[in-house]
Amino acid sequence: MLAAWTAFSCHHAPRVVVYGGTSAGVVAAYSAAQSGAEVVLVVPEGRLGGMTAGGLGYTDIGNKQVVTGLSKKFYRLTGQRYGHLESWIFEPHVAEEIFRQFATHPHIRIMDGCYLTAADTAGGRIRAIGVSDGTTHTHLVADSFIDASYEGDLMAAAGVSWTSGREGNEVYGETWNGQQMLKGHQFPDGIDPYRIPGRPDSGLLPGLAEMTVDPGRGDSLIQAYNFRICLTDSLENQVQITRPQGYDPDRYELFRRLMQAQPEKQSPKDYLIWNEMPGRKTDINNRGGFSSDVIGLSQGWPGGTREERQALFQAHKEYTEGLLYFLGHDPAVPQAIRDEMLRWGYAKDEFGGGLSPQLYVREARRMVGEWVCTQADCEGRTDPEDAIAMAAYTMDSHNCRRGVILQDGKAMVKNEGNVEVPGGGPYPIPYRALTPKRSECTNLLVPVCLSASHIAYGSIRMEPVFMVLGQVCGMAAAMAGSGAVQDVSAQAIRARMEADPYLDGSTPDVIIDDDSPLIDIPENWRRDWAGTGYGPTFLRSEPGDTTGTVVYHLPERRGTWAVYTYQQKVWSNPYPVYVLRAGDKETVTPVDLHTLAISGQTAGEWIPVGTADLRRGGTLSVSFRNAGNLPGKADAVVLVPAG
């Protein structure tokens, strides 16, 4: 059966197809619809939200300054669920519900469980794509297309240039690309690789091969995938972790040897990044030499067929279920680890009481467009005029292979490929990194498998950034209409995102960071950068210096505003005092930072300092003074519409 676009009633609006129900895909569809387009959102995954709703609730984010527009709105909506301005840690079902709200739009048609079958191209444009749910085959004609999948399947089918694996450092003048064997997530020296220790003639353990490492050399290897695992210790909401079908305990022999070499490690949290989440749940990630990453199984994923990926998904699932069972039951596992693991089970109210249906595809294809983001971008050494978003995360790659090396004449197990290197402050992503070369395709946008080298992609590939890029692509697709996406003005996109970040006409926040000319800074304060503030810098006084006051003179804005300041916890003075002056009203707010709960990866949080009622006009300022013996720190102030 062949269905067509005829379900849409508005034939004069731009028509946009978004392929991929990832976080970027949902936001792209909503943005295009809010910008006047008729949208079809094709969801091959069968679940909205990608990794953000698939277990990655402990948000990876280098700096909150880069999270803007609808991406920020998503974290504001999760915050409403948990009683905060924003929440960066959340349960998977909460995220999915919010994405479903975005997608429930009168101008978005969702096609769940449909996958790409073909792309019809001519004259440098995609004329239509074919999708199928296995029974019904649908032909989708559109003006513009957005490939928001983790794999870049539509991009590849359209004949757009792409790559995968790791470039050699010489390709883009980088230093952290290609093969790397660093200390992170690594085996200690001396772990024997043979089935019978000390006996090379017994053969290598499963998953191992002889390995040589040539630092910086390029290859086709893909960093490891895993599941972000949601467990709970709530007996009322728990599904027991049982022995999975086909369980092979010998698969985890390397794990036994690693534990024997590290007898001091007596908790599952020594081998898994165990992030505590709301609802007595977890977001568990990879840690150490042997953990939840399934090193080596990702190689066939980027260009794999649907059937090949299903087989790889099942292999990852069997490994992970076996790993969790192993930790709770294998006699070689320390008793303390087994006892602690047995307290936990799958959450009944997440993913049907099992693993996520979304494998963490950290990297697959990457487009090669007009601008390729590289290490130079991450380090702030470029200044593209068409910047439309920012990223800020460490240049990050998980391991790509596990093998055997010779060190001082002794064979031992090592992982290769892990990189965790800070770049610098927040840096711009150009619009040209989201569009193919004009000679290849003029009506496709790519927010996830964007144009970047392996090591730069490792910094950009964070879910909040994907959502920002999804918004850019949705807006650009609607603005392009039947024209070329390369002709859309990046400046026009930036201007609209600043004036109407949520695309609904609501009043935007007002943010004053420490580098604003609207701030009075005493002579005894200085600007500091330590990666812990909102944005790249913050203001700092000397320890115990209580003589100076930092004053934020906020721009005149009528209305009622909730006023927050971004405050650091761990390194800050426990007794700052804020004074909010709105017109002739003054509010004094001392803050004991020992009671401030800061969660997630960042070291700071927005804390309320009062409400300003400026419906009748008046000036507004926030003052900060140090009131203790530690260094004072002043950072950004934000005004949020409160009515």
Q: Which residues contact 547 (CB under 8 A, 6 or more apart)?
A: 522, 524
Q: At what angle do helices 92-103 and 69-82 cross, to 10 degrees?
A: 130
Q: What is the pLDDT of residues 276-299, one digit of tens each?
A: 999 999 999 999 999 999 999 999
Pairing of strands 162-163, 231-232: unpaired
Given the DSSP bridges, would you call strands 604-613 and 2-3 parallel, antiparallel or unpaired? Answer: unpaired
Exposed, middle or buried, 9 (CB in 10 Å: 0-12/13-18/19+)? exposed
CATH code of the region 2-164+421-499:
3.50.50.60
Mean pLDDT of all residues in 621-643: 85
CA atoms within 13 A on the CB side of 120: 11
CB 603 within 8 A of CB 569: yes
What distance in Å separates the CA atoms of residue 464 and residue 87, rounded to the nearest whole number? 12
pLDDT digits (tens, 9 = 90+) for 571-582: 555 567 778 887
| CB 180, CB 219: distance < 8 Å | no
CA angle 479, 483, 486 (to 5 degrees): 80
List the chain domain ranges: 2-164+421-499, 231-347, 510-641
Q: What is the mean pLDDT of residues 192-202?
A: 97
**Confidence check: pLDDT of 50 > 90:** yes
What integer is the mean pLDDT of 459-477? 98
pLDDT at 575: 61
Contact between residue 637 and residue 512 where contact means Cβ atoms under 8 Å apart: yes
Residues 6 or more apart from 368 whose CB is under 8 A from it?
161, 162, 163, 437, 451
Question: Which residue type is seen at 255?
Answer: F
pLDDT in tens, 229-285: 999 999 999 999 999 999 999 999 999 999 999 999 999 999 999 999 999 999 999
Lowest mean pLDDT among 52-56, 69-73, 167-171, 590-594: 590-594
Whether 9 shows a pLDDT value over 50: the answer reads no
pLDDT attached to residue 585: 81
What is the reported pLDDT for 7? 43
Residue 50 carries which DSSP code? G
What pLDDT shows up at residue 105? 97
The pLDDT value given to residue 613: 86
| Per-residue model confidence (pLDDT) at position 63 | 86
Which DSSP symbol is given to 630?
S
Residue 388 reports pLDDT greater than 60: yes
pLDDT at 2: 38
Residue type present at position 261: A
How far apart CA 582 and CA 423 sit, in angstroms, is 40
Q: Is the pLDDT of residue 592 over 80?
A: no
Average pLDDT across the chain, whole number:
93
* Residue of 136, 544, 150 lying closest to 366 (CA atoms): 150
- Gap between the Cα atoms of 485 and 441, Å rounded: 9
Q: At what angle do helices 463-480 and 490-499 cross, to 10 degrees?
A: 110
Report H helices in 83-141. 92-103
Residue 597 has pLDDT above 70, yes or no: no
At 624, the amino acid letter reads: F
Task: Kindly give, in sequence order, each residue whose CB lies less than 8 Å from that of residue 361, ignoring residues fewer than 6 positions away.
Answer: 150, 151, 225, 298, 301
| Homologous superfamily of 510-641 | Galactose-binding domain-like (2.60.120.260)
Mean pLDDT of 400-419: 97
CA distance 471 to 432: 15
**Torsion angle (degrees, nearest 10) of CA 67, 71, 77, 79:** -20
**Do the beta carbons of residue 139 and residue 128 sit within 8 Å?**
yes
Which range has the worst mean pLDDT, 224-228, 269-273, 394-398, 513-517? 513-517
Strands 15-19 and 38-43, by their bridges, are parallel
- pLDDT band for position 425 (cuts 50, 70, 90): confident
Q: How far apart are CA 271 and CA 292, in angstroms?
A: 9
pLDDT in tens, 310-321: 999 999 999 999
Reference 116, options 369, 266, 309; nearest CA is 309
Instruction: Report whether 268 contacts 276 (CB < 8 A).
Output: no
Look at residue 53 in the predicted model and tell me its pLDDT: 98
Q: What local confidence, expressed as pLDDT, does residue 450 receive?
A: 98
Average pLDDT of the segment spanning 536-561 = 86
Percent with pLDDT over 90 in the chain: 79
pTM of the model: 0.95
Query: What would the pLDDT profile of 294-344 be if each residue is shown by its tens digit?
Result: 999 999 999 999 999 999 999 999 999 999 999 999 999 999 999 999 999
Q: What is the spatial distance between Cα 145 and Cα 16, in angstroms, rounded to a whole number?
A: 6
Cβ atoms of 611 and 583 closer than 8 Å:
no
Q: Residues for the chain: how many in total? A: 643
Distances in Å between the Cα of 226 and the Cα atoms of 54, 194, 598 are 12, 25, 27
Give 347-377 pLDDT, tens digit per residue. Answer: 999 999 999 999 999 999 999 999 999 999 9
Q: Residue 461: which of 15, 111, 22 has the closest Cα?
A: 22
The pLDDT, as a whole number, for residue 11 is 59
What per-residue confidence (pLDDT) applies to 543?
A: 81
Tell me how far apart the 2 most distant CA atoms of the chain are, in Å: 86
Angle separating helix axes 23-34 and 92-103, nearest 10 degrees:
30
Q: What is the 3-state secondary structure (H, E, C) of 445-490?
A: ECCCCCCECHHHHHHHCCHHHHHHHHHHHHHHHHHHCCCCHHHCCH
Dihedrals phi, psi of 162, to nearest 5 degrees? -150, 165
User: What burial class does residue 120 get, using C-beta atoms within 10 Å of its C-beta: 0-12 exposed, 13-18 middle, 19+ buried?
Assistant: middle
Enter the DSSP assignment of 244.
P
631 touches 540 (CB < 8 A): yes
For the segment 63-87, the average pLDDT, to the nearest whole number, is: 94
DSSP element (H, E) containing 33: helix 23-34
Question: SS3 helix, strand, coil % of the chain, rounded to 5?
Answer: 25, 30, 50
pLDDT at site 35 = 98
Q: Give all strands (DSSP E) within 97-189, no chain letters.
A: 108-112, 115-122, 125-132, 137-141, 144-147, 162-163
Integer Cα distance of 337 and 68 in angstroms? 41
Report how far apart, in Å, the C-alpha atoms of 574 and of each of 153, 202, 541, 589, 614 are.
51, 60, 14, 13, 31
Q: What confidence score (pLDDT) does residue 3 get?
A: 47
